[in-house]
Amino acid sequence: MSTALETKSLPHNDEAERVLLGAMLLDRSKVSDVLGRVRQEEFYRKNHQVIYTAILRLFEKDEAVDPLLVADELERNGEFHEAGGYEYLNELTQGIPKMANVEYYATIVKQKSLLRQLAQLGQKISMAAVSGEVEPENVVSEAEAALSGLHDSGDRHDFQVFSNVLEETFHLIQERSQVKGNMIGIPTGFMDFDKMTSGMQKGDLVIVAARPAMGKTSFCMNLAIHAALRGQARVAVFSLEMPAAQLAMRLVGSEARLGISELRSGRLQQDEWQVLADAVGRLSSAQIYIDDAGDLNVFQMRAKLKKLQKDRGLDMVIIDYLQLMSGSSLTASQNRTQEVSEISRGLKVMAKELGVPVIALSQLSRAAEHRSDHRPQLADLRESGSIEQDADMVCFLFREDYYKRKKEGEVGSEADSGDPDVGISELIIAKHRNGPTGTVKLLFFKKYTRFENCDGWDSP
């Protein structure tokens, strides 16, 4: 497969590339016209990429651009001979029309670049298919996402007229003014949290992070129940760690306020059976869709969500949890840090594309364990600083009583076996791109895996 592309020249147009470079060497004003349309890697010839980059460096330094100055710039960077020398730079300026239509030639260069990327992607897909090492569904979903990415890269957004944007913004403000209260997103059911966030917003990537035993999964399942039952939202849940049946048991226990250990053993009191039946009846109307396949990547999730959105509708996505996701098999990262960066960026793009909030759980590093107050910080996000960068909101769950009991020897391990049935949990909004940060106090009922509002509750 690999020789097919090597023996046949990939699509390119030397003349279009030469005209673009020559026009910029003759007229500095042409640089800004080309800069907004063509990237350095979209030139086919390596020496053309080098020359274009040198022109851009001079342009960014607000210096003049001509063959002699570009030659000096290339020499300073040790690229003079690779570019073809002064003779080739001079040759580029020969026969260039004074009124060269750089937009036309830039379009040709971009189209040829897109065709090359398609050819290279096709080769990757073919190699993955014939290797027999990748599931066919994975190849299809990743190919679909990669093709979509190529389409987006070819469609360079142009300026929007500000008056049009203002008009759209005014209409949006008018629409939101009709909403009672400040709930413009999907409500979580936690009043103080909703006041600060106005609910979960479309297109947002929300990270809920904590150390083990803080209740990450329980918190997000509570969000799912409230959104689906009280907000009539359609919620997709990717449970990468826990089987669907086990997750459903947690949801039932939380809604019924019945202990998980009792549900697991089936040892319920007579009156508790009716409580269980009532809770199951309520939850049966919830539009919650659970996928417990492990080792999914962003492309596979995106494909599944697009199908769900088309077939049943979609309002919110929950992923438990981010570090259990895998990177793309077609574009394998060099290390896990880069892989997690690719995943978090992919989740943000997915949230924006689907137009729904994506809530991803995340583990934290052990750094918090070594601090005196144990409170999590943004720096504790495990494996990748880009998680913080990509997220619209980062929330931490923290339970001080857990660490107090652990220090006193009442909690023997991270399994939290000695935990009290109810205690205060802090929901720390550490980053909020479009709103305030701060801390919300919640009640956590460990026995029921349930969080509730903290109003009027006094700790014993």
User: Tell me: the pLDDT tens digits for 307-328?
Assistant: 889 889 999 999 988 888 877 6
Of the candidates 16, 226, 179, the one whose C-alpha atom is nearest the C-alpha of residue 100 is: 16
Q: What residue numbers bound the domain in which 232 lies?
A: 179-393
Q: How confident is the model at residue 170 (pLDDT cuts 50, 70, 90)?
A: confident
State which H helix or E strand residue 301 sits in: helix 298-311
Cα–Cα–Cα angle for 406, 451, 458, rounded to 5 degrees: 70
The CATH number that applies at residue 373 is 3.40.50.300
H helices of 8-159, where? 14-26, 29-35, 46-60, 67-76, 80-83, 85-92, 102-131, 136-154
Question: 4, 299, 354: which is closest to 135 by C-alpha?
Answer: 299
Q: Does 261 lie in the same domain as 214? A: yes
Please check the confidence at residue 334 and state whether its pLDDT lies above 70: no
Number of domains, the chain = 2
pLDDT digits 0-9 by tens, 256-295:
888 877 887 778 888 888 888 888 888 888 888 988 887 7
- Residue 257 in any domain: the answer is yes
Per-residue pLDDT for 333 more than 80?
no
Say what the pLDDT of residue 207 is. Answer: 92
- pLDDT attached to residue 6: 52
Looking at the structure, do residues 230 and 369 belong to the same domain, yes or no? yes
Higher pLDDT, 40 or 383: 40
- Among 7-16, 143-152, 341-350, name the one with the lowest average pLDDT: 143-152
Q: Is residue 455 part of a domain?
A: no
Half-sphere exposure of 111 (CA within 13 A, CB side): 9
Q: What is the pLDDT of residues 377-425, one digit of tens each?
A: 787 775 555 888 888 999 998 887 777 776 665 554 433 444 456 778 8
In this structure, the answer to whether residues 150 and 183 fall within a common structural domain is no
194 shares a domain with 145: no
- 420 within some domain: no
In a domain, 434, yes or no: no
20 found inside a domain: yes
Kindly state whether residues 138 and 249 are assigned to the same domain. Answer: no
54, 141: one domain? yes
pLDDT bin (cut points 50, 70, 90) of residue 5 is: low
* Whole-Å CA distances, 384 to 76, 337, 339, 358, 404: 36, 5, 9, 18, 29
Q: Please tell me whether residues 334 and 211 are part of one structural domain.
A: yes
- pLDDT > 50? residue 351: yes
Question: 190 and 91 in one domain?
Answer: no
Identify the band that residue 157 occupies on the pLDDT scale cut at 50, 70 and 90: low
In a domain, 120, yes or no: yes
Average pLDDT across the chain, whole number? 80
Lowest mean pLDDT among 225-239, 255-269, 387-401, 428-442: 255-269
How confident is the model over 187-213, as pLDDT tens digits? 888 988 988 888 899 999 999 988 887
* Residues 22 and 135 occupy one common structural domain: yes
- Whether 53 and 102 share a structural domain: yes
Element (H, E) at 303: helix 298-311
Both 127 and 198 in one domain: the answer is: no
